[in-house]
Amino acid sequence: MKEDKIIDFCKFPIMLAPIAGYSDLPFRKLCRKYGSDYAFTEMVSANAIFYGNKKTDILLKSDDEEKKSGISVQLFGSDADRLSWACEYLEGLNRFTGIDLNMGCSVKKVLKTGSGCFLMKDTENVENIFKRMREKIKGLFSCKMRLGYYSTQRNFLEIAKIAENCGLDFITLHPRLREQKFSGSLDYKALETLAKNVSIPVIGNGDITDADSLKRMKDCGVSGVMIARGSFGNPFIFKKLKDYKYTVKPEEFKQVFKEHGLKILEFYGPSEGIKIMRKTLLQYLKSLPGARHIRMEIATLKDRENFFKICEKL
């Protein structure tokens, strides 16, 4: 761990995970407001950075406040040269405190490129990638992985040992196999085994939604946790997990709902912003009693004026 560490593992950090389509700058700022101790960008393609794809610019947006509090870029790729080049490029931007390698994504279009969880099939390539990336990364270097690609190849501990030997600062484990995606039970025993057998911090990820699920993860001996799907439409979760007595009041809910929508519009602009608002804001109302008619209005949201009207109806 670097001497100028941003993450204090002694205090058991609760982090916002890298979530494709969700952990953009507007959402990260809201989660930070409610107690997220560290955050990750959406996953970014090393190839896209190499080829100068302009779509990556929005994914790499950050600000000075984030750098002070801690923000890692999550990269995905399978080629050591491209990943190394991307790390050097990101370091040159001087916006981030760390870089994370995605080794857990189970989406087909990512796996087809040999990236995400597919990397876990080839430990030799993983070791080479770790070494090449570590050479370029001045700040924190981490990886996020699953138990393995196949049920017959649960090699998470082997890869964690390689990560430890290559100088990674911490590891995040989502204790499911690639084929499970987000279904089935978490393997807490595997998480406990990992935490006991490496000297670097282990972060637990998966199905953390309340105090009980947080305690279950803590009992495995992890050094912190990462919240993903539990944060959808719920930036309050970080505060809830730190203060079990905290409850969201209706006016506060309405204010954050509105604030998030406006941040999205400001960040993406009116055209793209409206599209993203439909998906993002629906998450706030998933379990809200009597909100069916409002969900329908959000799903067909057309402009800023309609959004303000919906806010008044909450």
**Whole-number Å distance between alpha carbons of 286 and 133:** 40
Catalytic, out of 105, 143, 166, 220: 105
Closest to 83 in 3D by CA, of 23, 39, 135, 156: 135
Q: Which residue has the tokens 């994914």?
A: 59
Neighbours of 244 (CB within 10 A): 10
Contact assessment for residue 306 and residue 255, using Cβ atoms and an 8 Å cutoff:
no
Q: Is 172 left (phi over 0), alpha (psi -120 to 50) or beta?
A: beta
**Whole-number Å distance between alpha carbons of 86 and 90:** 6
Q: Which DSSP symbol is given to 247?
A: -
**Whole-number Å distance between alpha carbons of 242 and 205:** 17
What does the buried/exposed string (b/e) look like for 287-314 if buried means 16 or more CB atoms within 10 Å of the residue's CB? eeeebeebeeebeebeeeeebeebbeeb
Q: How many C-alpha atoms does 151 have within 13 Å on its Cβ side? A: 3
Q: Which residue has the tokens 């008044």?
A: 312
Q: Is 70 left (phi over 0), alpha (psi -120 to 50) or beta?
A: left
Among this protein's residues, is 105 annotated catalytic? yes
Q: Which residues are catalytic?
A: 105
